[in-house]
Amino acid sequence: MIPFIDLQAQRARLGPALEDAILQVVRSGAYVMGPQIAEFEAALRAFGEAPHALSCGSGTEALVLPLMAWEIGPGDAVFCPAFTFAATAEVMPLVGASPVFVDVLPDTYNIDPARLEAAIEAVKAAGELTPRAVIAVDLFGQPADYPALAAICARHGLKLIADSAQGFGCTLHGRHPLHWADVTTTSFFPAKPLGCYGDGGAVLSKDARLQDLLVSLRVHGQAVASDLEGRALDHDPKYLNMRVGMNSRMDTIQAAVLLQKLAIFRDEIEARNRVAARYGEGLGDVVRVPRVTAGGVSVWAQYTIETDDRDGLAAHLRGEEIPSAVYYPVPLHLQAPYARYPAPGGLPVTEAAARKVISLPMHAYLQPDVQDRIVTAIRNFVKKNG
């Protein structure tokens, strides 16, 4: 089987420097909040053109932290797509709020701004929940329609989160999602475009007060600079807790790994775009290949095509030792824990996409000859099954 994502090819490219970086942390003893954490957060700010960046325990916690900071909870509605990884919607019940599911656009699989506005109106008219925020997802690596989403959020007084776990590094008209969103969150799970060697995540933001709150919430609501202004303390402020937070620190070792990986990330994004272009040329006339929104640059977390005989294609590929995967076979609003939450007007585009999508091997180190084998296998399947 060829790899679906080849993390070992990347490791070989990074060479001994990567393992040295890990060993350096082991030898230093600074396993938690070591100097590599601040160094990595500075590198993230530079890369993401963000005034503030906070590393945290995972992409899921990166979504929880801003919801906590904005005191979103029981009685509040947060709008999101259902065609996404569970974590996008899971964080609402985690803080006591309700997800409200919105359909996606058929070409990008990202949240449909017109349907979003209709869903906000529907929730307001029903009068049971208070709209507070929108979580847009950069699904499979490409940016959501942030100019339209930001305008809607401004009109209705809602916060806008860019869940960029799959899309970190993507741009629209040359700008990162944070240009329009209040915060961008990402995940460093190993299989994401920018991954570490375990779990990790980050929140990028623009507002100093919000950053202060996130810093506090990341470590059990501990007192931060703004809490201590004008206070004289007779004990260590480390153990002064100002609010209920949690433990969401990222390990120093993961920051050391990410510093190495971030240094080649731009180059990897270019390589991913070359791989995607080659798939497009080889497959565009036989299956529905992905369309990137005008002015957008995807980081290609997945290369996802659509076909009516997905199971047949997957079996054929398996026979040729080519792996494939389905993201996502069952949209969230149809899964038991989420079926109780509103999905105003239904989600026909989401449900149709979930029946047809299949993702192909995609990573920055996919060699042209291997890729041509994949393309040929798909073309042969389509020819045989017309």
Ligand X SMILES: *Cc1c(COP(=O)(O)O)cnc(C)c1O
In the complex with ligand X, the residue whose CB is nearer, 120 or 165, is 165
Q: Does residue 58 touch ligand X according to CB under 6 A?
A: yes
> How many residues bind to ligand X according to rule CB under 6 A?
15
Q: Does residue 85 touch ligand X according to CB under 6 A?
A: yes
Name which position in 189, 303, 338, 341 contacts ligand X (CB under 6 A): 189
CB of 185 to ligand X, least distance (A): 7
Distance CA 4, CA 38 (A): 33
Of the candidates 348, 27, 363, 70, which has an alpha carbon nearest to the alpha carbon of residue 203? 70
**Which residue's beta carbon is nearest to the bound ligand X?**
59
Distance CA 110, CA 87 (A): 16
Query: What angle separates helix 310-319 from helix 368-385, to the nearest 10 degrees?
Result: 130
Residue 246: how many CB atoms within 10 A of its CB?
16
Distance CA 330, CA 322 (A): 23
Which 198-217 positions form the footprint of ligand X (CB under 6 A)?
A: 199, 201
In the complex with ligand X, the residue whose CB is nearer, 87 or 347, is 87
Please tell me whether residue 56 adopts helix, strand or coil conformation.
strand
Stretch that binds ligand X, among 158-166, 239-247, 269-277, 355-363 (CB under 6 A): 158-166
Which 275-334 positions form the footprint of ligand X (CB under 6 A)?
A: none
**Which amino acid appears at position 77 of this protein?**
A
Q: Does residue 350 touch ligand X according to CB under 6 A?
A: no
Q: Does residue 165 touch ligand X according to CB under 6 A?
A: yes
Name which position in 68, 69, 100, 137 contacts ligand X (CB under 6 A): 137
HSE-up (13 A, CA, CB side) for residue 145: 19
Pairing of strands 183-187, 201-205: antiparallel
CA-atom Rg of the chain in angstroms? 22
In the complex with ligand X, the residue whose CB is nearer, 131 or 141, is 141
Q: Does residue 59 touch ligand X according to CB under 6 A?
A: yes
- DSSP letter, residue 111: B
Q: Does residue 88 touch ligand X according to CB under 6 A?
A: yes
Interface with ligand X (CB under 6 A):
58-60, 84-85, 87-88, 137, 163, 165-166, 187, 189, 199, 201
